[in-house]
Structure 1
Amino acid sequence: MSDLVPPSDDWLDAECRRLLDFGRRVVHPVGGAAWLDDDGEPDLARPVHTWITSRTVHVFSLGHLLGVEGCAPIAAATLDGLRTTLHDAEHGGWFTAVDATGAPTGTAKSCYDHAFVMLAASSAVVAGIPGAPALLADATAVFERHFWEEPVGRVVDEWDRSFSQSAPYRGLNSSMHSVEAVLAVGDVTGERRWHERAGRIASYVVALAEAHDGRLPEHFGADWSVDLELNRDRPDDPFKPFGATIGHGLEWARLLLHVDATLGDDAPAGLLETSRLLFARAAADGWDVDGAPGFVYTTDWDGMPVVRNRMHWVAAEGIAAAAALHRRTSEEAYADRYAQWWAYVVEHLRDADRGSWHHELDPRNRPQASVWPGKPDLYHAVQATLLPRLPLSPSLASALAVGRGRASGMMGA
C-alpha cells in the first residue's frame, strides 16, 4: 500500500476551476478557440483548430454544469465558431483548421475532428448552450453518412473536402475518440445505436490487445491491415507517432470500462480483462523506465522507449484510468497508482505560477516545447479532475447534469 495521500475532492474541484480560469481568454477573434501560450494568452499567429475548439466547447460546457461563472459565454462563443468559421458550408462537415482570415488551412476532413465536434455538441446540449441541438444534429448526420463504416463496425479516418475520396489509412486514435463521442451522443439522444457502435469498436480493441500483448497498434491500411512501421522516421508525430503510444493504452483502458458500464449485459466479452492488460502494459513499459519519474511518450513493439518526452495528457489519462479501474474493481493497487501519478502531476506538470499544466517535459522533467508549444488544451487535465468523482456511466456532461459531480467521493481523502 502506498503512503501517498490522493487529492481530496475539494482539491480536485479547486484544480478544475483553476484550469478553467486559465482558459478564459481562449475565444479567437475570427471565431472558435485560440491556441494558448504558456500564460494563457491567445497565440493569434497559429491557426484555429477544430479539435481545440471542440474540446474548449466541451470543457466550458462542463464548467457551466459545475456552476462556474463565466463558462457558458465561452462555450457559446466557441460553439459559434464550429457553426460558422470552421464549418464547410459548401460540402458539409468541418475543416481541420482555419487561418486568421477564416480561410481553411487544408482540405482534408478528419474523423478525429468530427468526433470532437460530436462530443462538444453533446456536452453543449446538456449544458443548454444556444445552437447546440442544431450542431449535434449536423455532426451526427455527417458522422453517420461519411465516417461510420458498415459492416465492419469501425470508422473511416479521413476524406477529401468534398467527401468523394477517402484516404487509404485507418487509425486507432480517431476510433478511440469516436468511442468517447458516441457514448456521449447515446447518453444525450437516448438512441441505443450510438452505444452499440462504441461496443463494436471496443470489441476490435479487445482482439488487438490480445494479439499484441497489450501494445496497441495505432495505424492500419484501408482494409484494417496492421502497419507497425508507419512514421518510424517521425517518431514524435503529435497525432500519428511510430510504435505503441503509452497514453492511448491508458485511455483505452478507461474507455473500455465506460463501454462495459454503458452496455451492461450487452457489452462485448473481455472488456475488464483487456482494460487490466492495457493498464498493466502501459505502466510497465511507460512509467519510470529511464531513470526519472514520468511516462515516456512511445515505445517500440518490444516495449523499449522511443520518444522519452513526458506529455501532460499521458499522466492525466493514467490518473483517469487508475480511478476507473479502482471504481470497477475496488483493488488497492489502482488507488496506489492514482495517488502516485497525482503526486507526479503536482510536482512536475502543474504550473502553479503561470497556470494550467506544462504540456511537455523533457526526459528529466524540465519544460520543453518540441511537440506541444504553449498550453493549448484543457481537455485532458480538466477531465482528470472530474472522472475520479463521477460514475463510469453516463458520460461526463450527463453525469454532471444529474448532480453527481461531487457525490461519489471515490478517491479523495
Structure 2
Amino acid sequence: MSSSPPANRADPWRARLLATLRVQYPDTLAERGFRLLDPRTGDPYTADRRHLVATCRATANFALGALASGPDWCVSAAEHGLSFLQDGHRGEEGYHLVVTADGDPVDRTRSAYGHAFVLLACARATEAGIEGARSTLETTHRLIEDRFFDDRGMLGSDRDAVWNELEPYRGQNANMHACEAYLAAYEATGEEAYLDRARHLARTITVDLAAATDGRLWEHYTADWEHDFTYNESEPRHQFRPPGYQPGHHLEWAKLLALLDRYGDAPGPAEGWYARALSLFDRAVADGWTENGFIYTHGHDGSPIVSDQYGWALAEAIGASGALAERAAARDKNGTADTASRLRRLNRRFTVCTDLYRGPAGVWYEKRLAPEAGGDLVAPEPPGVEPDYHPVGAFYECWRSVRAMSPEAGSDPPR
C-alpha cells in the first residue's frame, strides 16, 4: 500500500493557483490569442477583439503556473500568449491596445498601463524559461524608458500611434503596475537596475506624493505631479480612472512593498518598506472592508463614492496579507508574532469570501453591486482585461510566502 507524501501548508495555495488556470485552459485559448470566459457558463465570449492587457495578464498567469511546477500546458499557454503579443499586438514600435484576432488594430493607443503589462508578461515568461522572452523583456524596458518615462523617472500618460501625448496626465495606477513589472523583471534576471526602478516608483507614489494626503494614495495627477482632486469627478464608475481613493490599490501597493522588503530597506521610506506596507494595508481594511469585500472608492472624508465590491480588490487583500504575514514572521525576533497571527487570520477571512465572487464555471465575476443596489454579480464585458489575473497572482504570492516560512516546504527563497 503506497502512502502519499506529507502535505505542507503551501500546498493549498498552489492548488488554488492551478485550479484557477485549469478553469481557463484550454477554453481561453483561441487560435490566436486568448478569449474571455463567461463566469456563468464557462463559454468563451464570441467577441473578435483582443485587449493588450488581457493578453499580457493571461500570459503572466500561465507563466506563474509554470513557476509553480504546474502541468506542461502552463508553458505552452504562456508561449501561445507571448507569440500573439508579438504577432498580434506589436506595431512598428510599441503595442496596439486593442486588435482583432487577426492582429488588425482597432485601437492604436500606446497605453502606459498596457505597456507596463507587456513588461510584466515578458518578465514572468523569462523566469519561466520561455525562449525569446528575455530579449523581448529588454526591448520593452528600453521602449518604456525612451517613450513613457518623464523627467521624474515616472510613467507619463498614454500616447497616440505616433507617440504624441494624449493628455497632460499622470496616474498612480500605471506606475503601480510598472513597479510590479520591474519587481518581476528583477526576480527573473537578478539585474539591480530593475529593482532600483521599482524602488523609485514605489517611493514616489507611496511616500513622497502620499505625504500630502495623510498617507493615503491619490490616483490622479497633473503633468507636473500635482494632485488633481477633480479629475473624472463626473465619472465615478470609470473603468480605469475613477475619482477618489481606492482601497484595492492600497492593498496592491501593500503587497508590492512587502516584496520590496524582501530585498532590503534602502532606498525606501524612513520607517522601512515593511512598516509602510503594513500601514497601507491597515488603512485599506479600515476604510474599505465590509465583511464580504472592499468598496471600490471613497472620498477624502472616508465616505463611499462607489460601494460596489470588485473581486480584484479582495484578491489583492489575500496576496497582501499573505506576503505581509511572511515579512512579519521574518521579524518575529522584533515582537511581530501578534501581527503575523493577525494577518494570517485576515488572510483566512478574505479567502473564505472568494466563493462570493466565483461564478458557476469557476471564473471570477468582475464585481458585486453595492447592497443598496441589490448586490447582484456582474460579469466582465468583452474584450475584457482578464479578471482571474488578480486571484492567480494572490495565490502565487501566498504560495511562495508560505514556502519561505515553512521548513516542510523547503527553504526556497521567495524569488
* Mapped pair 1:342 → 2:354: no
Cα distance in 1 between the residues matched to 2:171 and 2:20: 30
Cα distance in 2 between the residues matched to 1:408 and 1:210: 38
Q: Could you tell me which residue of structure 1 aligns to residue 23 of structure 2? A: 22
Cα distance in 1 between the residues matched to 2:409 and 2:212: 39
Q: Could you tell me which residue of structure 1 aligns to residue 312 of structure 2? A: 313
Q: Could you tell me which residue of structure 2 aligns to residue 76 of structure 1? A: 79
* Mapped pair 1:221 → 2:222: yes
Q: 1:184 to 1:124 in 2, by over 3 A?
A: same
Q: Could you tell me which residue of structure 1 aligns to residue 201 of structure 2? A: 201
Query: Conserved in 2, the CA contact under 8 Å of 1:326 and 1:334?
Result: yes
Percent identity over paired residues: 33
Cα distance in 2 between the residues matched to 1:377 and 1:383: 11
Cα distance in 2 between the residues matched to 1:78 and 1:405: 34
Cα deviation, residue 235, structure 1: 0.8
TM-score (norm. length: structure 1) = 0.86
Q: Could you tell me which residue of structure 2 aligns to residue 55 of structure 1? A: 57
Cα distance in 2 between the residues matched to 1:114 and 1:375: 14
Query: Conserved in 2, the CA contact under 8 Å of 1:60 and 1:75?
Result: yes
Cα deviation, residue 207, structure 1: 2.5
Q: Could you tell me which residue of structure 1 aligns to residue 136 of structure 2? A: 135
Query: Conserved in 2, the CA contact under 8 Å of 1:22 and 1:355?
Result: yes
Query: Conserved in 2, the CA contact under 8 Å of 1:115 and 1:181?
Result: yes
Q: For residue 197 of structure 2, what is the amino acid of its counterpart?
A: R
Task: Decide which moves more: 51-60 or 329-338.
Answer: 329-338
Q: Could you tell me which residue of structure 1 aligns to residue 243 of structure 2? A: 242
Cα distance in 1 between the residues matched to 2:77 and 2:300: 42
* Mapped pair 1:40 → 2:42: yes
Q: Could you tell me which residue of structure 2 aligns to residue 4 of structure 1? A: none
For residue 378 of structure 2, give the secondary structure of its aligned residue in structure 1.
Answer: coil
Cα distance in 2 between the residues matched to 1:108 and 1:195: 28
Task: Decide which moves more: 94-103 or 241-250.
Answer: 94-103
Cα deviation, residue 372, structure 1: 5.5
Corresponding pairs, count: 386
Write the mapping of 1:117-156 to structure 2, written as runs, cut at 5 A: 117-150=118-151, 152-156=152-156
| Correspondence for 1:357 among 361, 364, 371 | 364
**In the TM superposition, what whole-angstrom CA distance separates every residue of 1:120-149 from its partner, at most 9, and x where no partner exists?**
111111212233133213211211211223
Write the mapping of 1:168-317 to structure 2, written as runs, cut at 5 A: 168-204=168-204, 205-270=206-271, 271-288=273-290, 293-317=292-316
Cα deviation, residue 273, structure 1: 2.9
Cα deviation, residue 371, structure 1: 6.4
Q: 1:158 to 1:200 in 2, by over 3 A?
A: same
Cα distance in 2 between the residues matched to 1:71 and 1:27: 12
**In the TM superposition, what whole-angstrom CA distance separates every residue of 1:333-352 from its partner, at most 9, and x where no partner exists?**
22221121112223x1234x
Q: 1:147 to 1:262 in 2, by over 3 A?
A: farther
Q: Could you tell me which residue of structure 2 aligns to residue 390 of structure 1? A: 400
Cα distance in 2 between the residues matched to 1:220 and 1:371: 28
Query: Conserved in 1, the CA contact under 8 Å of 2:365 and 2:387?
Result: no
Cα distance in 1 between the residues matched to 2:358 and 2:350: 12
For residue 304 of structure 2, give the secondary structure of its aligned residue in structure 1.
Answer: coil
For residue 390 of structure 1, give the secondary structure of its aligned residue in structure 2.
Answer: helix
Cα distance in 1 between the residues matched to 2:380 and 2:44: 18
Cα deviation, residue 311, structure 1: 0.7
Q: For residue 68 of structure 2, what is the amino acid of its counterpart?
A: L
Q: For residue 85 of structure 1, what is the amino acid of its counterpart?
A: G
Cα deviation, residue 202, structure 1: 1.5
Query: Conserved in 2, the CA contact under 8 Å of 1:45 and 1:100?
Result: no
Q: For residue 41 of structure 1, what is the amino acid of its counterpart?
A: D
Cα deviation, residue 86, structure 1: 0.4
Query: Conserved in 1, the CA contact under 8 Å of 2:250 and 2:281?
Result: yes
TM-score (norm. length: structure 2) = 0.85
For residue 306 of structure 2, give the secondary structure of its aligned residue in structure 1.
Answer: coil
For residue 170 of structure 1, give the secondary structure of its aligned residue in structure 2.
Answer: strand
Cα distance in 2 between the residues matched to 1:407 and 1:385: 18
**RMSD of aligned C-alpha atoms?**
2.7
Cα distance in 2 between the residues matched to 1:232 and 1:140: 33
**In the TM superposition, what whole-angstrom CA distance separates every residue of 1:143-191 from its partner, at most 9, and x where no partner exists?**
12112233x1211131121224453111000000000111121233332
Q: Could you tell me which residue of structure 1 aligns to residue 390 of structure 2? A: 380
Cα distance in 2 between the residues matched to 1:71 and 1:203: 34
**In the TM superposition, what whole-angstrom CA distance separates every residue of 1:267-302 from its partner, at most 9, and x where no partner exists?**
4433333222211221111111xxx63211111111
Q: 1:46 to 1:214 in 2, by over 3 A?
A: farther
For residue 71 of structure 1, give the secondary structure of its aligned residue in structure 2.
Answer: helix
Cα deviation, residue 223, structure 1: 0.8
Query: Conserved in 2, the CA contact under 8 Å of 1:199 and 1:268?
Result: no
For residue 254 of structure 2, give the secondary structure of its aligned residue in structure 1.
Answer: helix
Q: For residue 54 of structure 1, what is the amino acid of its counterpart?
A: C
Q: For residue 349 of structure 1, what is the amino acid of its counterpart?
A: Y
Cα distance in 2 between the residues matched to 1:214 and 1:345: 29
Cα distance in 2 between the residues matched to 1:354 and 1:371: 14
Cα distance in 2 between the residues matched to 1:409 and 1:165: 44
Q: 1:377 to 1:293 in 2, by over 3 A?
A: closer
Cα deviation, residue 370, structure 1: 7.3
Query: Conserved in 2, the CA contact under 8 Å of 1:358 and 1:367?
Result: no
